[in-house]
Amino acid sequence: MSKDKFTTLKTTAVPLPNENIDTDQIIPARFLKATTREGFGDNLFRDWRYNLIPGPSPEEKGVETPNKDFVLNDAKFSGKILVAGKNFGCGSSREHAAWAIYDYGFRVVVSSFFADIFKNNALNNGLLPIVVSDQFLKQVLQAVEEKPSTEIVVDLENQILQVGAVKESFEINTYKKTCMINGYDDIDYLLSLNKEIREFDIAH
């Protein structure tokens, strides 16, 4: 199924400097019960977005109130880029994490390091993970935190991320880049190999 095409993006960003943000934080397991891909954005970072006042027993749910200290609840910050600390997306392989980030409205996640499975999942859903150096990540976070209206430009064709006057080039493999730009996915390619795969299957 084709995805949205991605070429360039100019937008403000949301800073989330925590390191090792795992997919259980991005979308807690109890929200994985849906059988479609839509609607996960409402529960993105659910347990960080809301404070829970526990009920008197495990059976009684308790009350949730928005956590005003959490960046998604801070009106100052908005935009289609999430800038996050090192080792983003570690833990569970749940693709729901990528769906939730996308569904919430983000199109790019910038970090100095991504967990492997998350990176694949993101790319398979038109969400662009951009790896920058630790140094550049620090600069981006600082720029956005100091001035939330800071605009970031993502140029996928030329593989450049620009924040104000500073920029850094980023790596993405040619195949995934082509997929992102054209909105292709892996199945389109694999289906074209059907004959070879059949032969392989029979031989093994």
Residue among 13, 109, 115, 143 that touches another protein (CB under 8 A): 115
Q: Quick one: 5 or 198, whose CB is closer to another protein?
A: 198
Angle between helices 96-104 and 116-123 (to 10 degrees): 50
Q: CB-based burial of residue 177 (10 Å sphere; 0-12 exposed, 13-18 middle, 19+ buried)?
A: middle
Q: Quick one: 31 or 153, whose CB is closer to another protein?
A: 31
By CB under 8 A, residue 145 contacts another protein: no
List the x/- string, 41-80, binding to another protein by CB under 8 A: ------x----x-x--xx---x------------------
Residue among 87, 109, 110, 143 that touches another protein (CB under 8 A): 87
Q: Quick one: 81 or 137, whose CB is closer to another protein?
A: 137
Q: Quick one: 50 or 153, whose CB is closer to another protein?
A: 50
Q: How far is it, in rounded angstroms, from Cα 103 to Cα 101?
A: 6
Q: Quick one: 68 or 165, whose CB is closer to another protein?
A: 68
User: Taking CB under 8 A as the criterion, which residues in 148-177 touch another protein?
Assistant: 173-175
Residues of this chain that bind another protein (CB under 8 A): 1, 17-20, 22, 24-25, 28-30, 32-37, 47, 52, 54, 57-58, 62, 85-87, 90-96, 98, 113, 115-117, 120-121, 124-125, 134, 173-175, 185-187, 189-191, 193-194, 196-197, 200-201, 204
